[in-house]
Structure 1
Amino acid sequence: MGKKKAAASFTDDDDALLAELGVETEVKQAQTYTPKQERIIAGFEDIQRFYREHGRRPQHGDVRDIFERLYAVRLDRIVADPECLELLRPLDEDGLLDARVSEEGEEYSIESDDELLEALGVGPSENDITTMKHVRTAAERNAPEEIAQRKPCEDFDDFRPDFEAVQADIESGQQTTELFKTSSRSQIKKGDWFIVDGHKALVADAGKWFTPEHGERDRRLRVIFDNGTESDLLLRSLRRALNKDEASRRIVPPQPETDDEYATAGPLFSNVFDTDDSESGTIYIARSLSDDEFVKANREVLHKIGVTGGDPVTRIAGAKKDPTYLLAEAELVATYKLANINRKALETLLHKFFAKARLDVALADRFGDKVRPREWFLVPLPVIAEVVDRVKDGSISDYRYDTDTATLRIR
């Protein structure tokens, strides 16, 4: 038995057989339109969308929306012109061309082709009659929306530590930011961080690539924002939003990357000082005197860990009015003096080391805005002292903090 012919191999014998059976064959060709016809069709598509959304034809009248009145004028002009009717009838699935929409006293006469084009949303721009007015071009109709509808992120607590870590890295200089428009990094991929419209944004997931009809290759993203919302949007939409925001930035991770989570903390001790180095620094440990039931129950293990180049007593002086001190008086329970230290790098290292023991609480500041203190940890004071010793002798990277036993463990 011979091989089956491919469907595309249609011979004269096949054609003759179909003719004997009384079946006429017709080869369909792709419909092409002139620029003028494309724009008239685009104007009619706007009217169709209005009809399907509102369940009625667009109407005239001062009480109507400006776009509805425009669509009503367009539809009047279309049904009055035989050429437009011939072009659009095959596309009229809703029967919009069967009757006029003009109300009494709003009849229109066609004075010229330019007037007709103007009513259809196609008007002469200087000498170009193919320039559209009020009607989006095909490219604009196919373009993705700037930003998909944002919604609350149900699992934001899973991402909160990542946002806090990135903020800490930016504050300490471990991560930097650069303007998106001038960045040499043009890719957008899973795991990338941005600042757009004043919010930090994480590309938490990326779907498969696809190519829409009359469009460019794209993919669906899941983007998490630092205000606890998320958006299911296209990659091209995110890129458009970043380009539209003059202040948008890309958050740049430490370079080069390393598997050692403590290697990025920077030089803690150095004989060469920069603008953030000091001949002396102080690690200070504070304890809250709040009457809050949780604080009272955990007072012996709840500590604020900070590093300052000034007087620690001064740092806690206004604790009662400061949300970062839990809006309560605080007392110093330990200080550790260190020389030739990069304070920000050391503080970042300590906070990363105890990250799993960080207190997660939100307090309102005097303006009513939510503040999340990031320097409070549920860690016994002797363990903090041991960690400071490990930092001094350089062995800290060999250990991790075990929250279950509240002790240091060999990594």
Structure 2
Amino acid sequence: MAKQQKLTEEDDALLAALGIEVQAKRTAKYSPREERIIAGFEEIQKFVEEHGRLPEHGENKDIFERLFAVRLEQICKQEECRELLRDLDHQNLLNGNFKPVADVPDDINDDELLAQLGVPEIEENSITNLKHVKPRVEKKAAEEIANRTRCEDFENFKPLFVAVKKDIDIGFRKTIRFRKDAGFTKTSLKKAQFIIVGGQIAYISEIGETFKAPNGEEDARLRVIYANGTESNILLRSLIRAMYKDETSRFITDSDSGPLFSGENSKDDLESGIIYVLRSLADHPTIKENQAIVHKIGVTGGAVEKRLSNAKNDPTFLMADVEIVATYKLANINRTKLENIIHKFFQAAKLDIEIVDRFGKPVRVREWFLVPLFIIDEMVEKIKDGTISEYYYDPASANFKRVNS
């Protein structure tokens, strides 16, 4: 047994001398909650390793970076989390001693880089001097991951990213988790497809000629544009491999109106549905002052009048009578999905008001918007012809504007 232990120590020492990190297997048993905390922290560590900095807040940051920033803040606030992760925190993220990686010029030579890092100069005749020999793993990574460069014609692609984000927001597109169980070689990507990889929305702009990879699989060179204004000239198999390794990678579905107006029924579909527009007769000062443009917009599968029978006692209707000012009948719609799309479309014009219900409890109402009736008419027409995702509503001008304008 002692001999076996000695051999293990020698092996570890040899691996360490070769620059290979030896990690002991984690033997501790964690609760499901602790496992989730550890997994979440490891995602943050991966981000820091790839970007050389801590995740940050800000509207210009992608959603995953903002998520990591919030998660790190919450972890640092909780002693229980800090204690759990203390031994795993090799980057000093929890104690505030993390040091960002300094920017290094691309043309810096090995000796200058070593000097900046505080590593003493190695004699040229030393048999341990392997600075010009890259490990196979490093070579393979360099071959598989293409460097991103600035996209010179990004202005041509920017409207596409704005539109796809709008489509996702209003429900015309969905993001689908990358299915690893489908098999790496079975995954396929196509031209003009949107995906999410590395926390960025990416657009496959071009696919080159197909050729046979060394493993016999078909491959091709792609031009991929990213939402942050960069692009990469990457192999198809390399991009799929990157998605396979990225736990947060997702596909973005094609833009279509789905079951809203299709000929196929889902469990939530009805033969017909009605978009209704109501005007309130409440005495509330804000309502009376803006009565001409304060409207409730909803979708129902039955008679609208039936929903209004108890309006005076329902905070949904502002505890007052209402009148029907417009209805629009549509065939074969998914009521819930359609209503969500309408409410998200007019989100910027949502009425923010609080009323008191019949029990004296304050209630903040929903589904009421400061929108002229003619705008609602036009919105319905754009839903019917399938162009609603190309526009957004601007309350300041009380008009529609194109997403890419």
TM-score w.r.t. length of structure 2: 0.41
> Which one scores higher on RCO, CA 8 angstroms, separation ≥ 6?
2
Larger Rg: 1
